Structure 1
């Protein structure tokens, strides 16, 4: 298996929608992911094993120094194989090259080991308001 990670790599909506549904436990929503990331994101990273999309992370930003990881997802059969760590490292590199100084991520407690140990984030105080 040779996995290729691409900053702002091409993908199709149906494939990402299916991967996102698998990763987040919801049915496909028919989202126009391509339009969404092109309109709102600094970049995104796709992980491909051949033609198969096996991972994705979106990098939103504030237009300045801060970037934010959202929608990090890895195919179920490849979780724990380092794919997510490489997605995040590629996203961090892309944000750094774009001039960002900070990369933020929010996550559920069960993902602490991944983000804090495997990816090198440090804990911070943050807030969340449900809308």
Structure 2
């Protein structure tokens, strides 16, 4: 992944992880919904893991950042084997980078998800 892309991902996607700690600000709600929609429609196993996060956000209930991080790591471990990280990142990937990889995996299913994630 290019350094430019990594920076865009970090600044854009990290926003919604932070937003989970703030009941009034769901910065990444549309992004999350797009990602979840693609996942729920196409991956049964992934859908079951995402369902609780989806419902929490959809009902605007506060969920902790730790909960989101734990779920993201669980999802990525399932869909993106650990050895691949070494090829893309110098150190352990951030949640934003993990989400980038997850979105990339969904790219062929829903291009708008991928494009949205790369927006500054």
> Is the shorter-chain TM-score for this pair beyond 0.5, marking a shared fold?
no
Q: Look at both structures and tell me which one has the larger radius of gyration over its CA atoms.
A: 1
Higher relative contact order by CA 8 Å / sep ≥ 6: 1 or 2? Answer: 2
Normalized against structure 2, the TM-score is what? 0.31
TM, length-normalised to structure 1 = 0.29
Select the structure that is richer in strand.
Answer: 1
